[in-house]
């Protein structure tokens, strides 16, 4: 019997709460804080042994966020904003985890969080109108409201490569990096993948590894992060500008302090355009992508101008022209895959201890006891690192056995792509809220900004139900179908659907290829959510 089956058979009596939250990352912690304010009894179940979600799991060298630190933290508490000092414009994982631990302590969150408790299943009990959850250790609990705060990129994906269990050295996925110091100096290390994670990891590891071999399938358009420490003088200035920065984020497409230039690439001369690209190239963060001409995301001809600019930069930075060409993306438009931000990534390939294997030319055939065998060679390693990404957006939910009305499974319902209403509820799953769920603006966002919007909407909804003596909220099939059509319509005007990416679910074999987020940006998404609430939760049935 599996752990989950053993647990199902166990007679443990379920504790009952007003609300259960799954996940103690940025979203789950904030949801707990807000529901406590409403006076609800809340229990958070967290798979890890500490808070932090993404920042708890992703401990690989080089891990850091690509949002400006001061726009990434919670905005809800003035004292928290005042007390916390970020040390860099783009903070690294250890500091971000310390920040989230600080928040947990400050608001005394841990007393309602049950750690080391991965949820195996959750079933809606129709007669009692409650959700019963079951952890992998066999613990049960019940609540009227269930809120999933399981993250966008939290279900690690390791490809099913033949011989994967044969390798005798050490091996991890980047999201399961060991919680101990890892010494890679003098080691022979193989990295599979070249996405945003690999780009951060490779840059850092290359500096002190014995020999590093990168197995790349698709080259990416990487752009400089331009990170630097925050000086003491800047600290005060940034704090004085918090309100203005959060307001700016509220109104920008991706909730960053960068927003698209309303002009077209072709509104300016070629020289002027190149000068703008050059200026943005030297600015910090996502400005080069999300602060660029708006039509780079909608018009292939406009996109070609910026794609060529980045290709030129790669050629300038990588000394060996063969390696430079291998690192040059030619099969997708700039920005239709998540743009990795880098701090010396291309220069890593100028080092004598780093080599790049092009998997298009020589695919991996299998893992062996000693390493990785491609079509033309066997590479021997002490350590193999899988930087192979995530079953994004839907994976963390479909890996839980979630059963709604009539025993319907969420995984079955989403076989042909996610179906949600506002990315916050699913028809047939009453009183279940999916914070940062599928078809929700939070999937293409400076995530904490969207998390706050999601959590505040859910909290207001639960408050409304309580104030009106209502016990149940469920999305109608009709509203759900309208939302699905709206999401598809919005993204059809962009270049996203043309590229195989995790945004499209295309990185997971067998997963339906469809845009998993909301392509209309945060302001438009928020307006839709607010409109629904103002109409007494139109599209939902309240009972």
Q: Which stretches of the chain bind ligand NA7, using CB under 6 A?
A: 153, 159, 192-198, 215, 217-218, 338, 359, 364, 387-390, 502, 507
| Distant-in-sequence, close-in-space partners of 521: CB < 8 Å, separation ≥ 6 | 252, 253, 254, 441, 444
Instruction: Measure the CA dihedral 474/477/480/484, to 10°.
Output: 160
Nearest residue (CB) to ligand NA7, 345 versus 502: 502
Cβ at position 195, least distance to ligand NA7 in Å? 2
The residue number whose beta carbon is nearest to ligand NA7 equals: 195
Residue 39 or 510: which CB sits closer to ligand NA7?
510
Nearest CA-CA partner of 486 in 519, 443, 531: 519
Provide DSSP, 25-59: SHHHHHHHHHHHHTT--EEEE-SSSSS-THHHH--
DSSP, res 189? E
Smallest separation, CB 529 to ligand NA7 (Å): 23
Cβ closest to ligand NA7, residue 446 vs residue 507: 507
Helices (H) and strands (E) in the chain, counts: 19, 20
Please identify, using beta-carbon distances, which residue of 236 and 363 lies nearer to ligand NA7: 363
Contact 264, 295 (CB under 8 A): yes
Q: How far is the CB of 252 from ligand NA7 (least distance, A)?
A: 17
Least distance between ligand NA7 and beta carbon 445 (Å): 10
Q: Which is nearer to ligand NA7, 192 or 442 (CB)?
A: 192
Q: Least Å distance between CB 231 and ligand NA7?
A: 28
The smaller minimum CB distance to ligand NA7, of residues 318 and 432, is found at 318
Q: Which is nearer to ligand NA7, 28 or 195 (CB)?
A: 195
Question: 99: helix, coil or strand?
Answer: helix
Q: How far is the CB of 202 from ligand NA7 (least distance, A)?
A: 11
Pairing verdict, β 15-22 and 383-386: unpaired
DSSP 8-state assignment for residue 431: T
Residue 6 near residue 134, CB atoms below 8 Å: no
**Quick one: 264 or 499, whose CB is closer to ligand NA7?**
499
In whole angstroms, the minimum distance from the beta carbon of 398 to ligand NA7 comes to 17
- Minimum Å distance from CB 404 to ligand NA7? 29
- Give the DSSP letter of residue 338: P
User: Distance of CA 401 to CAs 28, 407, 408, 431, 441, Å?
Assistant: 19, 10, 10, 17, 25
319/266 Cα distance (integer angstroms):
32
């Amino acid at each position: 019997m599996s752990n989950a089956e053993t647990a199902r058979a166990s007679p443990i009596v379920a504790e009952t709460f007003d609300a259960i939250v799954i996940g103690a990352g940025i979203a789950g912690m904030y949801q707990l804080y807000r529901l406590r304010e409403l006076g609800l009894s809340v229990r958070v179940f967290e798979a890890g042994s500490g808070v932090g979600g993404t920042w708890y799991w992703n401990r690989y060298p080089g891990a850091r966020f690509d949002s400006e630190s001061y726009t990434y933290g919670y905005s809800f508490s003035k004292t928290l904003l005042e007390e916390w000092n970020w040390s860099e414009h783009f903070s690294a994982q250890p500091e971000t985890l310390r920040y989230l631990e600080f928040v947990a302590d400050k608001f005394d969150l841990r007393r309602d969080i049950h750690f080391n408790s991965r949820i195996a299943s959750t079933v809606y009990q129709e007669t009692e109108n409650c959700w019963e959850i079951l952890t992998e250790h066999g613990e049960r609990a019940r609540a009227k409201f269930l809120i999933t705060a399981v993250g966008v990129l939290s279900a690690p994906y390791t490809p099913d490569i033949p011989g994967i269990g044969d390798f005798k050295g050490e091996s991890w996925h980047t999201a399961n990096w060991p919680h101990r110091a890892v010494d890679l100096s003098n080691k022979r290390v193989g990295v599979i993948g070249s996405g945003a994670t690999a780009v951060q990891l490779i840059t850092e590891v290359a500096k002190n590894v014995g020999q590093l071999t990168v197995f790349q399938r698709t080259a990416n358009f990487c752009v400089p992060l331009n990170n630097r420490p925050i000086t003491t003088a800047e600290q005060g200035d940034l704090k004085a500008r918090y309100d203005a920065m959060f307001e700016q984020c509220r109104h920008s497409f991706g909730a960053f302090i960068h927003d698209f230039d309303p002009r077209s690439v072709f509104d300016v001369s070629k020289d002027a355009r190149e000068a703008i690209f050059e200026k943005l190239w030297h600015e910090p963060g996502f400005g080069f992508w999300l602060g660029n001409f708006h039509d780079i995301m909608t018009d292939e001809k406009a996109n070609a101008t910026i794609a060529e600019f980045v290709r030129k930069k790669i050629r300038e930075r990588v000394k060996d022209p063969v390696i430079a060409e291998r690192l040059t993306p030619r099969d997708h438009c700039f920005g239709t895959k998540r743009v990795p931000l880098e701090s010396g990534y291309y220069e890593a390939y100028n080092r004598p201890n780093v080599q790049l294997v092009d998997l298009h030319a020589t695919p991996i055939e299998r893992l062996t006891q000693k390493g990785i065998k491609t079509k033309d060679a066997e590479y021997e390693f002490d350590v193999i690192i899988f930087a192979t990404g995530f079953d994004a957006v839907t994976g963390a939910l479909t890996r839980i056995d979630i059963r709604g009305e009539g025993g319907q499974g969420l995984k079955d319902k989403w076989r042909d792509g996610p179906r949600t209403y506002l990315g916050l509820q699913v028809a047939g799953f009453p009183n279940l809220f999916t914070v940062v769920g599928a078809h929700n603006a939070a999937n293409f966002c400076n995530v904490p900004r969207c998390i706050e919007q999601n959590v505040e909407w859910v909290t207001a909804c639960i408050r409304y139900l309580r104030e009106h003596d209502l016990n149940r909220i469920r999305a109608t099939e009709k509203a759900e179908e309208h939302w699905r059509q709206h999401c598809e319509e919005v993204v059809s005007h962009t270049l996203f659907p043309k590229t195989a990416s995790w945004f499209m679910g295309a990185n997971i074999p067998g997963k339906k290829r469809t845009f998993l987020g909301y392509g209309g940006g945060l302001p438009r998404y928020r307006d839709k959510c607010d409109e629904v609430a103002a109409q007494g939760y139109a599209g939902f049935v309240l009972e």
